[in-house]
Amino acid sequence: MDKELLYKKCVSFHGHECGGLMIGFRAALLAMELLEIEAPAKDEETVCIAENDACGVDAVQALLGCTAGKGNLIIDRRGKQAFTFFNRINGKSCRLVLKEHAFASREEKRNFMSTAPGEDIFEVQEAAVTPPPQAEIYRSQKCAACGETTAEPWLRVRDGKLLCTGCFEKER
């Protein structure tokens, strides 16, 4: 595994280099090591719960194949540089939390982030939550008000009519 090529893949996906992307890159690399992940998820075999919606999440998507569309990337906006990872194949999991460090310069920080061992960058914790269930495929129905097709779990009933959440809220 060529670390430089993997980072370039992340930069290409994200669009530019930045400190946030490097955080996600290093988190994804450490997760791959700790959870014995060898390739990006084709389906939902790897799951990430990111506690932020910042640049680092793009590195997780690029390296681990976790995406919102597959249901194996969950954004839990808590404003923390923390990521919980699950490997559904072998049952391993971990939570990685960025450690605080003081740096004299951006260059020193960049050098540390790109060369330090993952355990020096992140506090490795046990996953505090269980993996989410695999994504479900739901039947859809037409909203009685707007006529747009909506997945059943998001429909609401008012006066015997099925309404999407937007129409349900408008008719309050």
Q: What CATH architecture is 3-125? A: 2-Layer Sandwich (3.30)
Query: What pLDDT score does 23 carry?
Result: 98
Nearest Cα to Cα of residue 72 among 61, 56, 80, 62: 61
Query: pTM of the full predicted structure?
Result: 0.84
pLDDT of residue 84: 98
Within this chain, domains 3-125 and 140-170 share the same CATH topology: no
Reply yes or no on whether the pLDDT at 1 is more than 80.
no
C-alpha 172/C-alpha 54 separation (Å) is 35
Task: Name beta bridge partners: 149.
Answer: 142
Write phi, then psi, for 90 (nearest 5 degrees). -105, 0
Q: Which helix (H) or strand (E) holds 111?
A: helix 106-115
Percent of all residues in the chain with a pLDDT value above 90, rounded to a whole number: 91
What amino acid is encoded at 128 in this protein? A
| CA quadruple 95, 132, 62, 43: dihedral sign | positive
Where exactly are the structural domains of the chain? 3-125, 140-170
Longest dimension (CA), the chain: 65
What does the alpha-carbon distance between residue 26 and residue 24 come to, in Å, rounded to a whole number?
Answer: 5
Closest CA to 46 of 95, 92, 110: 92
pLDDT category at 17 given cuts 50, 70, 90 is very high
The CATH T-level fold of domain 140-170 is Wheat Germ Agglutinin (Isolectin 2); domain 1 (3.30.60)
**pLDDT above 90: residue 54:** yes
Selected residue with higher pLDDT from 1 and 56: 56
How many beta carbons lie within 10 A of that of residue 119, not counting itself?
A: 13
Counting Cα atoms < 13 Å in the Cβ hemisphere of 53 gives: 5
Q: For position 120, what pLDDT does the model report?
A: 98
In this model, does residue 141 exceed pLDDT 80? Answer: yes
pLDDT tens by residue, 37-52? 999 999 999 999 999 9
Cβ–Cβ under 8 Å, residues 13 and 61: yes
pLDDT in tens, 86-131: 999 999 999 999 999 999 999 999 999 999 999 999 999 999 888 8
Q: Could you tell me which residue, 133 or 139, shows the higher pLDDT?
A: 139
For residue range 73-86, list pLDDT tens digits in order.
Answer: 999 999 999 999 99
Q: What is the chain's mean pLDDT, rounded?
A: 95
Q: List the beta strands (DSSP E) in 10-151.
A: 46-50, 73-75, 82-87, 93-98, 122-125, 140-142, 149-151
